[in-house]
Amino acid sequence: MAKAKTIFVCNSCGYESPKWLGKCPACNEWNSFYEEKVVKEKDGTFLADKKTRAAKPTSLNSVEGKEAVRISTGIGELDRVLGGGIVKGSLVLLGGEPGIRKIYTDSSNLQ
Ligand SMILES: [Zn+2]
């Protein structure tokens, strides 16, 4: 029967260790280790838990982004800064000197 075991994997470079490490010896990153359950197979190799391996790394070139519907604020310059307007469900924080007429809005107030 397969035996479950826990290993620690560096989130930065993938270095594996049987115990948690504060600093990765491979890439020198601090606090980058996370716990991963693995199962020992009959041939002695360890396979990661199905849940943790379900998500596979994807090249950025092959990621398809969806074009969000943008709602115009009615202020041309603000729309330009926001990339065409406010995205529904998003929150925009404006900053500036006192008295320069900052506005607050969330997209649920727009049509
Ligand atoms: Zn590392």
The tens place of each residue's pLDDT in the chain, 111 residues long, gives 556 778 899 998 989 999 999 999 999 999 999 998 887 767 766 666 555 556 678 898 888 878 888 999 888 998 999 989 998 888 888 888 888 877 655 556 555
Residue at a domain's end among 17, 32, 54: 54
| 63 assigned to some structural domain | no
**Residues 6+ away with beta carbon under 8 Å from 10:** 16, 17, 24, 26, 27, 29, 32, 33
Which residues have CB atoms below 5 A from the ion given as ligand 1? 10, 12-13, 15, 24, 26-27, 29
Report how far ligand 1's centroid is from the alpha carbon of 25 (Å): 7
C-alpha–C-alpha distance, residues 69 and 109, integer Å? 15
- Dig out the tokens for 100 from the structure: 């320069």
Predicted local confidence at residue 13, as pLDDT: 92
Predicted local confidence at residue 21, as pLDDT: 93
Residues 48 and 7 in one domain: yes
- Number of domains, the chain: 2
Report how far ligand 1's centroid is from the alpha carbon of 97 (Å): 43
Residues 11 and 50 in one domain: yes
C-alpha–C-alpha distance, residues 16 and 69, integer Å? 42
